[in-house]
Structure 1
Amino acid sequence: MKSVEVTNLGIALGHGAKAVNILPDVSFTVEQGECFGLVGESGSGKSTVLRCISLLLEHWRGTVKIGGASVRDMGVIERCRTVQMVFQDPYGSLHPRHSVRTVLYEPLRIHNLDRRQERMEQALRDVGLPISFLDRFPHQLSGGQRQRVAIARALILEPDVLLLDEPTSALDVSVQAEILNLLSDLRARRGYTYILVSHDLAVVDYMCDRFAVMRSGEIVEVLDRAALENNSATHDYARELISASIAYDRAS
């Protein structure tokens, strides 16, 4: 697995005087095999960072390196084999007319990988789904099962880095726990490097080794997981965010 280094990442939307600088200057590093979180309120730029890293957004400035290699210098095939993304909405990320077999087969065909049936079956086993699900369609799956398929699709190319964009926020609470346990177990067994976007600090506490607090497109502080226990953040906004989360958890 590989490390991730983001340096002076910035992006503006629009042109000329109407351009809006939604990410002014973001820098952070993620160690090999680490789960690194990005937290903050809606609109703080968390998901935008993931879309820049994956080149779903291309017109950004700065550098992003995975294992020391710039993502811009990687060919499409190499980049897709290096980094994959799991999206927030399991209902929108799967084509409604494509079976699970098609969803998993397509990346294997594009990348010309062998043992395709074996790889598809193993991918389903890895995410805790029966082989018979290969011939099911998204409308025949629950939200949690769809997200497991989305994770299997991301893992089938054996990437080094997984970008997780609120992977459980659209799911029921009981299903959220199942998916988080699955992701934690996969990282323990395979050593994946994760970058996890979440607004839920309980998820960050469970999954992440370190996390960055974002506000208005900027990282205000990078903290260890232990900072959540006694709210040892030094930046005012980070302290307020953690305090609000702790108060909410106690109230619920």
Structure 2
Amino acid sequence: MKALSVEKMSIRFGSVTVLPEVSFEVAAGECFGLVGESGSGKSTVLRCASLLLSSWQGEVRIGGVPVREMPLMERCRTLQMVFQDPYGSLHPRHSIRSVLSEPLRIHGLDDREARMAQALEDVGLPPDFLDRYPHQLSGGQRQRVAIARALILEPAVLLLDEPTSALDVSVQAEILNLLARLREERSFTYLMVSHDLAVIDHMCDRFAVMQAGEIVEVLPRDAIPSNQADAPYARELIGASLTYERAL
């Protein structure tokens, strides 16, 4: 269980400043959400924190250690990411066995068969799925495999980039409950991006509202039902979500 801190993260793409300067703290074992409209910079924060994007300024620390100073192997063992699209995040020609065995091989871990079977069991899939291919799985099953791939190196921090937005509503609930159970059992620290405040309310202890690459307000989950936000944009965003939910 490790804390995550983001300090003065900024990045430009050409002449466009995507993140002017973002700072926040995630306590060890906490689920912290980033919410906002499309293009607000939520996913860019995750890609910078994971060093999928490297040309950013500022600092990200995990357990007090800057991610830029971590050796690559250590960083991969400490930090993993689950992507939004379960159809695009798994190679169509690689079996599930290949998907899960590759990180074990790279990191020189033994007992690979047992580790792979346990990873699938942890996400609610049987071991015989190891010999299937992504096209043989449903969207929810693919996302469970993606979560298993993230878990197999036993990281301390998981970055979740809208992990249920591409799934059917009934499957979304299953994946969210799975993630909540895993955090409780493994004491993971989660940084979760979502455009859905209902997901944030279900999963997160606190969340930050982002607009145009900046954090306008950080709120506890309890602030959602009665819309206790102070920033005008945050109040508008939460109010729109509550109005939509009441109309259902």
Where on the TM-score scale, by shorter chain, does this alignment land: which range?
A: over 0.9
Q: Residues of 2 paired with 1:178 and 1:22: CA distance? A: 33
Alignment TM-score, normalising by the size of structure 2? 1.00
Structure 1 unaligned segments of length 5 or more: list them.
none
Identity of aligned residues (%): 73
Structure 2 unaligned segments of length 5 or more: list them.
none
Cα distance per residue 1:53-80 (max 9 Å; x no partner): 0000000000000000000001110100
Aligned with 1:176: secondary structure?
A: helix
Match of 1:74 among 62, 70, 73: 70
Q: Residues of 2 paired with 1:198 and 1:5: CA distance? A: 19
Q: Residues of 1 paired with 2:194 and 2:18: CA distance? A: 18
1:47 maps to 43
Q: Residues of 1 paired with 2:22 and 2:67: CA distance? A: 16
User: What is the one-letter code of the residue matched to 1:6?
Assistant: V
Q: Residues of 2 paired with 1:62 and 1:162: CA distance? A: 20
1:6 maps to 6
Aligned with 2:224: secondary structure?
A: helix
Q: CA deviation at 1:163?
A: 0.2
Q: Residues of 1 paired with 2:154 and 2:190: CA distance? A: 13
Q: How do 1:103-118 residues align onto structure 2 when only pairs under 5 Å count?
A: 103-118=99-114
Q: CA deviation at 1:229?
A: 1.3
Alignment TM-score, normalising by the size of structure 1? 0.98
2:237 maps to 241
Aligned residues: 248
Match of 1:93 among 85, 89, 94: 89
Asked if residue 182 in structure 1 is aligned to residue 151 in structure 2, the reply is: no
Cα distance per residue 1:26-62 (max 9 Å; x no partner): 0000000000000000000000000000000000000
Cα distance per residue 1:171-214 (max 9 Å; x no partner): 00000000000000000111000000000000000000000000
Asked if residue 35 in structure 1 is aligned to residue 58 in structure 2, the reply is: no
Aligned-CA RMSD value: 0.4
Aligned with 2:225: secondary structure?
A: helix
Aligned with 1:26: secondary structure?
A: strand
Q: Residues of 2 paired with 1:131 and 1:30: CA distance? A: 34
Q: Residues of 2 paired with 1:5 and 1:93: CA distance? A: 26
Q: How do 1:169-248 residues align onto structure 2 when only pairs under 5 Å count?
A: 169-248=165-244
User: What is the one-letter code of the residue matched to 2:120?
Assistant: L
Q: Residues of 2 paired with 1:75 and 1:219: CA distance? A: 30
Match of 2:157 among 157, 161, 178: 161
